[in-house]
Structure 1
Amino acid sequence: MTSPRIPPYGTPDAPLLAVRGEAELETDPDLAHLGITVTARGKERRTTLDDLTRRNATVVELIKSYGDAVEDVSTGAVSLTPELERRGRGERVHAYHGRVHLTAELTDFTALGELATRLADLDLTRVDGPWWTLRPDSPVHRAARRQAVQDAVRRAKEYAEALGTTVGALIELADTGTGSVPGRPRSGFGSRVRRMSTAAEAEETAPEPLDLEPQRMRVRAEVSAQFTMVPPTL
């Protein structure tokens, strides 16, 4: 014997109860992201490209030297743009500007400040960040969704209790909003245009590592749910 089909709308015999469930949790981030921009400028195209290649290799080598502390390093946009003379006739190139964008993801936050400082201390290198994220499969997302569902059930029972009745069957449950709110940087560390003459000089003038504290993450989940109620006596 099959159970009677419940219509997707309220009836006197099965009043519809629609509620929303919400949850918000705070947790530590899983990943720290750094944005690195390497630049080069020169009169000759080939010389500028060689300088850009060398500086990019230096940055990548430095990032990878931190081993397991770095989960991923990737290259974004690469550009080499001619700058034309502002005066005179014809299209004469005054200089060339090269740029490479990279992103580094770190899981070890104890190494973050040192790496960020060393990167910012390189020639013609800009560092932005850090900004913080959770992994997509973080258990905190699941916990927030579970609590949002529990909140919806609790609200439904409270409304039914206020009418002197009880919740009947679940009609629909929809995920209306789940996600985290990462902290993003307002500005970067800036760029350094300073050249080291020798390795000894570089060692003597190495900057103190920045003390970077992870920003707490807020994870939100929201669901909408529809239930039937046992008809109340009004």
Structure 2
Amino acid sequence: MAEVVTKGVGKVERTADRAEVQVSFETLGSTRDEAVRLLTARIAEVEPALGRPGVEVRSRQLTVHDNWDGRRRSGSRAMQNYVVRVDDVTGLDGLLGALVTAEPTWLNGPTWQLKDDVEAVREAQGEAVRDARRRAEGYAEALGARLGPLHRLTDGDAEAWAAESNRMMAAGFGGAPGVPPQMDQLNLEAQRIVVTVRCTAAWTLLD
């Protein structure tokens, strides 16, 4: 039985409705205890902002270690790393403004996401199958044959979807203490995410 095997691609665009931000705060002290006390005081200003509606702290990671200058100990360092998820993207500007005002050592984001990709994946799957069928019909016509029923269908990707236009904004903040950058000058609008599905289909060819 003759068959034709084609590949199909389906792409669907959606506007991101979730963002993720990574932020770190670091302090130095002559001892570990001092470094931790300074860090605790510093992040005390940050925690209220992380408790806003629609904001979820996915992880808090504390790191404390000594600094060394060759074989000589030269104080201690404490760092708190946060991974923050924002489900209400309308409040993202305010959250980032509060974080920047708190003088983070490092801030990376936002990384744009979809809260639920099921509907978009299914729509992309349908488009991928239709694309594969259009290609198969073209080959069948070129061969003077008719396209028969679907014989086999496999997912062409290890992952169901890829956020091809997913953008990450990384910002390093310096300058005078207490002077945050102008948040309204940053492009913080929710980005478009392309949900992509690929498939491979085998169709029977009829005389």
How high is the TM-score relative to the length of structure 2?
Answer: 0.85
CA offsets 1:137-190 (integer angstroms, 9 cap, x no match): 4411221111101111222122212323222232210111231222122x2242
The one-character-per-residue Cα deviations of 1:39-64 (angstroms, maximum 9, x if unpaired) are: 11111211111222333343232111
Given the alignment, which residue of 162, 169, 173 partners 1:190? 173
Q: Identify the residue that residue 213 of structure 1 maps to in structure 2.
A: 189
Tell me the SS of whatever aligns to 2:156. strand
Q: Match for 1:227 among 196, 199, 203?
A: 203
Aligned length, in residue pairs: 201
8 Å Cα contact 2:17/2:89 also seen in 1? no
In structure 1, what is the equivalent of residue 28 of structure 2? 41
Whole-Å separation in 1 of the counterparts to 2:118 and 2:175: 37
| SS of residue paired to 2:168 | coil
Q: 1:77 to 1:193 in 2, by over 3 A?
A: farther
Normalised to the residue count of structure 1, the TM-score between the two structures is 0.76
Structure number with larger C-alpha Rg: 1
Contact 1:83–1:95 (CA under 8 A) maintained in structure 2: yes
Whichever residue aligns with residue 158 of structure 1, its letter is: G
Q: Deviations over 1:64-113 (max 9, x none)?
A: 1x21x22x212254211211244xxxx44211111111111112222111
Q: Structure 1: give runs of 5+ residues left out of the alignment.
A: 1-13, 196-204
Is 1:167 aligned to residue 173 of structure 2? no
Q: Percent identity?
A: 26
1:110-131 per-residue CA deviation (whole Å, 9 max, x = no partner) reads 2111211210111444321111
Could you give the per-residue CA deviations for residues 200-222 of structure 1, whole angstroms, max 9, x where no partner exists? xxxxx887543521221111111
* Aligned 8 A contact 2:7 2:199 in 1: yes
SS at match of 1:111: helix
Alignment of 1:97-112 (within 5 A): 97-112=77-92
Match of 1:52 among 31, 39, 45: 39
The residue that corresponds to 2:65 in the other structure is 81
Structure 1 letter corresponding to 2:5: A
Runs of 4+ residues deviating >6 angstroms: none
Q: CA RMSD in A?
A: 2.3
SS at 2:90's partner residue?
coil
Counterpart CA distance in 2 for 1:125 and 1:226 is: 54
